[in-house]
Amino acid sequence: MAARQSLALLVAAAALAAAGPASAKVYVEFRPRMSLMGGYDDNVQLNGSGGDGIGQAVPGLKLDIFGEHDLHLDLDCQAGVARLAHPQEFGISSGAFADNETCVLGTKVKMSDRDKFTLRTRATYAQDPFSIAGLGLLLRPGQTQIFVGSFGGEDVHALSGHTEMQYALDGYGLLFGPGDPGNGYLLAPRVAYAWKTSERGKWDVGAREQLFFGVAAPPNLRAPKGAPGGLLDEAHAALLGYTYALAPWADLTVRGGPVLITGAAREAVQPTLRFTIESYTPSTAISLTAGQDLVIGPSSAGPLVGDIAELGLVQSWEHLDLHLRIGAYRNANAFDSSTIGAIGYGGEAGVAWKFSRDVRLEVAALRDARLYDATVAQQVDRDVFQVRLVWEKARFE
């Protein structure tokens, strides 16, 4: 229910943004789509009990709104209905069908000659194993549903031709069901001062707060170690960053600093560091990420140390698209850096053949594996294969 409410809020926000004054010039472009998918998951419940085949129908809609002040709002929503060959193996409440919904909302607008605002939100609710797959360390044995929500908003205020202030708020939430100890969310306001040292280089120095909240279990579901509620821990970070334009279409960014974590009768200091290279052209996208930061995870609400090393690649030709993702991940106790925590890796590879601008056939394979996890008895290890036929209206003239 919470997932559906969040998706409704995203749609409502898009409608409000599109409304605006009656005199404003607004251009709207929408692209409906439908995909039919079939595949196989060799470890449906993530505990080695067996695999299952699945079929899925996923209608969706993409909406782009363009207006004055360089406004661009994009909304991408889809809702899927899945049917497992042996639904009793997965424990779906309906006994036959599972559903999933995803909405992504983003906007950017030039509010004035000095201020530029960007916003990116994403909400996903998944009840079937194909949609749950791909969430890496968020996977748990026996898991049958998950809601993941994220939010990122930033206002950049130019002080001069080479200096600026950056004000931002990020958020992230996880819900697994009533009373689950992993139910929680994170709010992270931040501020930074940035200055250009050359045509390609820019430094920034700032501060960030991270507030970790738990979602309390209903009274009738609380156990001796039941899910806590309210503000659990805080983290205070001083960050120094550097961004360098490798090319007009590629940026390198390094940012890090110390983080002081404070909680109920406990404190710890952890380092944070993030290295990224992002390159985008009309036909190629490359993303390389490595780093360590505080995150939230599925085992319990509150901060975890999250390590990541990930490479993503998308290549497009006239009739062929390729995509590849591979990465290694680690979650550990934020107050005890000596613990190993949960270590895993994941990878995905896919190819799409475009019959026309509107129709394409996709084949993809995905693997998630847990090398070590002290919080669960079984080691997560799954392989997923899928074939998808997609119709998406390229553009309405």
Q: Is the residue at 350 inside a domain?
A: yes
pLDDT above 60: residue 397: no
Range(s) of the domain holding residue 338: 2-19+26-392
Task: Supply the pLDDT for residue 310.
Answer: 95
Q: Does residue 276 sit within a domain?
A: yes
pLDDT at residue 214 greater than cutoff 80? yes
Of 80, 86, 79, the C-alpha closest to 53 is 86
Is residue 98 one of the residues assigned to a domain? yes
Q: According to the model, what pLDDT value does residue 281 have? A: 93
pLDDT at position 8: 44
19 has a pLDDT exceeding 70: no
- CATH number where 313 lies: 2.40.160
Q: Do the domain assignments include residue 397?
A: no
What's the pLDDT at 221? 53
Is 310 in contact with 192 (CB distance < 8 Å)? no
Q: Predicted confidence band at 339 (pLDDT cuts at 50, 70, 90)? A: confident
Per-residue tokens: 163: 């200096």
The CA distance from 351 to 321, in Å, is 6
Q: For residue 319, what are its two tokens?
A: 């009739």
Write the DSSP assignment of 123-139 as a string of letters: EEEE-SHHHHTT-GGG-
Residue type, 189: P
**Is residue 104 included in any domain, yes or no?**
yes
On the question of pLDDT at 125 being above 90, the answer is no
For the chain, what is the domain count?
Answer: 1
For 77-116, the three-class secondary structure string (H helix, E strand, C coil) is: EEEEEEEECCHHHCCCCCCCEEEEEEEEEEEEEECCCCEE
Percentages helix, strand, coil for the chain (3-state, rounded to 5) are 10, 65, 30
Q: Quick check: 32 pLDDT over 90?
A: yes
The answer to whether residue 221 sits within a structural domain is yes
Percent of the chain with pLDDT over 70: 83
- Mean pLDDT rounded to a whole number for the chain: 84
For 354-391, the pLDDT digits (tens) are 999 899 999 999 998 888 777 665 667 889 999 999 99
**Residue 187: inside a domain, yes or no?**
yes
Round to whole Å and give the CA distance between 98 and 82. Answer: 5
**pLDDT average, residue stretch 239-267:** 93
Express each pLDDT in 55-64 by its tens digit.
889 999 998 8
Q: How would residue 2 be classed by pLDDT, with cut points 50, 70 and 90? A: very low
pLDDT-wise least confident of 69-78, 96-105, 182-191, 250-259: 96-105
* 211 pLDDT higher than 90: yes
Mean pLDDT value of segment 26-42? 89
Confidence (pLDDT) at 314: 96
Q: How far is CA 72 from the centre of its chain?
A: 21
Residue 113 domain-assigned (yes or no): yes
CA distance 2 to 297: 18
